[in-house]
Amino acid sequence: MEELLTDAYAGIFEPALIEEISAVANITDFEEGDRLIEIGQYIRQMPLLITGAIKILREDKVEGELLLYFLEKGDTCAMTLACCMGQTKSEIRAIAETKGTLAMIPIGKMEEWLGRYKSWRNFVFTSYNKRLSEMLSAIDNLAFMKMDERLLNFLKEKAKVNKSAVIVNTHQEIAYELNTSRVVVSRLLKALENEKLIKLNRNNIELLKQ
């Protein structure tokens, strides 16, 4: 497990911290589509993403779900961090985008390492800043971007986290994540294909320009 942590966090954490993480972390494997964190759930451990990708969603009781950002190898979720430290209920939902592995860190160690390891403090603060920037970007997308721009950005982000230009999602699944209708998504995908930006295949969408 220490080798996996080193692969994901070398250059972020010093070896002594990686060794401590490997000694206390609970390792959890997950599959694509698994619900890892639910809204209203108390978070007792902080997740470090060793492999795979996870999408973070916010729920609106009227409008449905909104994709906030993706987590990739070497990331953590700042909103989960806040829930751990404040012992409050989660306001986000985390769903596995791909299969992968998490290292779950006890709350006590999170606080202890803030005082002992500069790299841990930097990681926590950097994670907060990065996630805040991504949430502001999500707000900007909603407020200022046209739906075709949001759709293209979504496809590019999916391609990035899955490390593949081929996106295996139905039009309905994309509509759900973008909080719009399948009819709108299908129409806009066809328009993007006409612009030679994507290729629509029978069971997937191929991104031609990234």
Q: Using one digit for the tens of pLDDT, what is the confidence trace for 13-71?
A: 999 999 999 999 999 999 999 999 998 888 888 899 999 999 998 876 655 678 888 99
| Structure confidence at residue 23 (pLDDT) | 93
pLDDT recorded at residue 78: 79
Domains and CATH numbers, the chain: 2-143 (2.60.120.10), 145-207 (1.10.10.10)
Could you tell me the pLDDT band of residue 203, with boundaries at 50, 70 and 90? confident
CB 38 within 8 A of CB 90: yes
CA angle 7, 13, 15 (to 5 degrees): 75
Cα 67 to chain centroid, rounded: 9
Q: Report the percentage of the chain scoring pLDDT > 90.
A: 49
Rounded to an integer, what distance in angstroms lies between the CA atom of residue 154 and that of residue 72?
A: 15
Mean pLDDT of 150-169: 92
Could you tell me the two tokens for 124? 């926590």
